Chain A
C-alpha cells in the first residue's frame, strides 16, 4: 500500500510542473498547488505505511481465513473475475450492441454463472430489461443507446 502511495505521488509530481501558473500573483494559488500538496501528504503516508504496515500485519490477517476458504471452495474467485469481466465487456459493447441486446446478454450470462437455470435466467433477464426500458425510456424519457437495433427503429 505504501508503494502505491509513493507511486501515485510520483506521477502527480511528474505532471504538475507542466501546469500554467494562472492569473495569480502568488505561486501558491496556481493549479499545481493543490495536487502537489496532496502528493506530499501521500509520500508521508507511503513512508509511514512501509515502516509500520509490515509490523502491524494484524490488519491483513483478519481477513485471511475468509480468503483462504473462498479460494479453496467452488471457484468463487473465478466467479468474481468473470463478474468483473462481464461488466467490462458490457461497458465496451454497450454503445455497439445497444442497451437492449447488451443487457439481455449480460444478464443471462451473469445469472447463469451465479447458478440460475437458463430458462429462469432468460425470464428474469427479460423482466429486468423490460422494467428498465419502461422506467428509463418511457417514463423518464432518458434515451439509452440503441446500437445495432437502431436500424429497425428502436
Chain B
C-alpha cells in the first residue's frame, strides 16, 4: 500500500516539474502572489500591506495574499523575504528594521539582499510630552535635560534600536547631549509608551504624531516637534526640529522589494503596477485616514536611500552602544 503512495508522490513531483517548465514561457503573473509582512496581523504595516494586496490583485488579475512572518524584531520576515524563490511571486514588505538587523546581530541582512521596487511611506516621529509639563518648545526641553543630573531624565517610545528610538539618539547627539545621560525605558511599541507618559512614569516619548493624536487632541499630551524636513499639513501647528535649531530629520519608512535574481521584466512590471496604485487618490485617502505619510521613491532611488540610511544608522547605533561588534 505504501508503494501506491510512493507512486503518487513521484507522480505529483513529476507533474510539478513538468508544469514548471511550461510556466516559464507563460506571461507573469499566472498564479497567486504573496506579500511577506514581517509584523503581526492587525498592526500598521499589516494594514497597509493588505490594502496593497487588494489593489495589486485588481491591477494584475491574480489573487494577492499577505503572509505574516513575525518574530525577532522583524528578522524572521525579512529573512523569509530574502530567501524566497526569485520568481516574482513573493514580494517582501521591507520596513525600517532592515537597516538595523545586521548591526544588532539578528540576521545577516542589509538592503542589498533585495531588489528594491519602491518605497511608499515615510513617517517622522514627534517629540511628545505631558500637557501639564513646563516645556513649551524644544529649547526648554533640551535645557532641562542638560540641567538635570545624569540618569534622571526618562525617555520612552518603543523597543531598543527601533524607528522611534534611533532618531531620538540622533536628536540628542545633535543637541550636544550624550545619549547615555538620559534613560531609555524600552516598551513593546508606541501604545505602552503613551500609557507610561500619561501615567507620569516617563518624561518624554518619541512616536509618530497620529499614534498619539487622540491623546494630544484630547488635551492630555502635547507635541513639541516632529523630526521631518517640513511641517505636516495634517497637523500644521507642530514645528519641525530643524526650525528649532536641531538639524535632524528622519524616521520610519516602508517599501516593497523582491529577492535578488528576480527577472528584470518582472521587476519592471511590479514597479509599474505599484506606481499606479500609489498615484491613485484612493491610496492617498487610505493613508491619510490611517495616519500614515506618503512618500514614493522608485527602484534605484529607493535602494540608494536605504543604503544611505543604513550607513548613517550604523554610526547612530554605535554611539548608542547597540552595535554588535
Asked whether the complex places CB atoms of A and B closer than 8 A, the reply is: yes
The answer to whether residues A143 and B19 also contact, given A108-B5, A109-B5, A153-B30 and a CB cut-off of 8 A, is no
Report the count of interface residues on B (CB-CB < 8 A).
26
Measured in the bound complex, the distance between the Cα atoms of B10 and A107 in whole Å is: 18
User: Does B34 belong to the interface (CB within 8 Å)?
Assistant: yes
Measured in the bound complex, the distance between the Cα atoms of B21 and A152 in whole Å is: 10
Measured in the bound complex, the distance between the Cα atoms of B31 and A23 in whole Å is: 50
Chain A residues near B19 (CB-CB < 8 A):
151-153
Partner of B16, one of A105, A109, A141, A149: A149
User: Does A8 belong to the interface (CB within 8 Å)?
Assistant: no
Partner of A23, one of B1, B15, B30, B184: B184
Are A101 and B23 touching (Cβ within 8 A)? no
Q: In the complex, which residues 140-154 of chain A have their Cβ closer than 8 Å to any Cβ of chain B?
A: 141, 143, 148-154
Are A143 and B31 touching (Cβ within 8 A)? no
User: Does A118 belong to the interface (CB within 8 Å)?
Assistant: yes
Partner of A143, one of B8, B12, B34: B34
Chain A residues near B290 (CB-CB < 8 A):
none
Q: Mark A14-33, 1 if CB is under 8 A from B, else 0.
A: 00000000010100000000
Are A151 and B23 touching (Cβ within 8 A)? yes
Are A25 and B151 touching (Cβ within 8 A)? yes
Q: Mark A107-139, 1 if CB is under 8 A from B, else 0.
A: 011001000001000000000000000000000
Minimum CB distance partner of B150 in chain A: A25
Q: Mark A61-88, 1 if CB is under 8 A from B, else 0.
A: 0000000000000000000000000000
Q: In the complex, which residues 1-27 of chain B have their Cβ closer than 8 Å to any Cβ of chain A?
A: 1-2, 5, 8-9, 12-13, 15-17, 19-20, 23
Are B16 and A112 touching (Cβ within 8 A)? no
Report the count of interface residues on A (CB-CB < 8 A).
18
Are B65 and A141 touching (Cβ within 8 A)? yes
Are B13 and A148 touching (Cβ within 8 A)? yes
Are A152 and B180 touching (Cβ within 8 A)? no
Chain B residues near A105 (CB-CB < 8 A):
5, 8-9
Most B-side CB within 10 Å, residue of A109, A141, A150, A153? A150
Most B-side CB within 10 Å, residue of A25, A148, A153, A154? A148
Chain A residues near B151 (CB-CB < 8 A):
25
User: Does B194 belong to the interface (CB within 8 Å)?
Assistant: no
Most B-side CB within 10 Å, residue of A25, A109, A112, A151? A151
Nearest-neighbour CB distance to chain A for B196, whole angstroms, equals 17
Are B1 and A151 touching (Cβ within 8 A)? no
Are B9 and A143 touching (Cβ within 8 A)? no
Are B67 and A148 touching (Cβ within 8 A)? no
Partner of B17, one of A25, A97, A112, A151: A151
Minimum CB distance partner of B85 in chain A: A150
8 contacts between A and B (CB under 8 A): A105-B9, A118-B1, A143-B32, A150-B16, A151-B16, A151-B19, A152-B19, A153-B30
Binding site for A on B (CB under 8 A): 1-2, 5, 8-9, 12-13, 15-17, 19-20, 23, 30-32, 34, 65-67, 89, 151, 180, 183-184, 321
Q: Which are the 10 A-B pairs with shortest beta-carbon distances?
A: A148-B16, A151-B20, A153-B31, A151-B19, A143-B65, A152-B19, A151-B16, A143-B67, A118-B1, A101-B12
**A-B contact sample (10 more), CB < 8 A, given A151-B17, A151-B19:** A23-B184, A23-B321, A97-B9, A143-B32, A143-B34, A149-B12, A150-B89, A151-B23, A153-B19, A153-B31
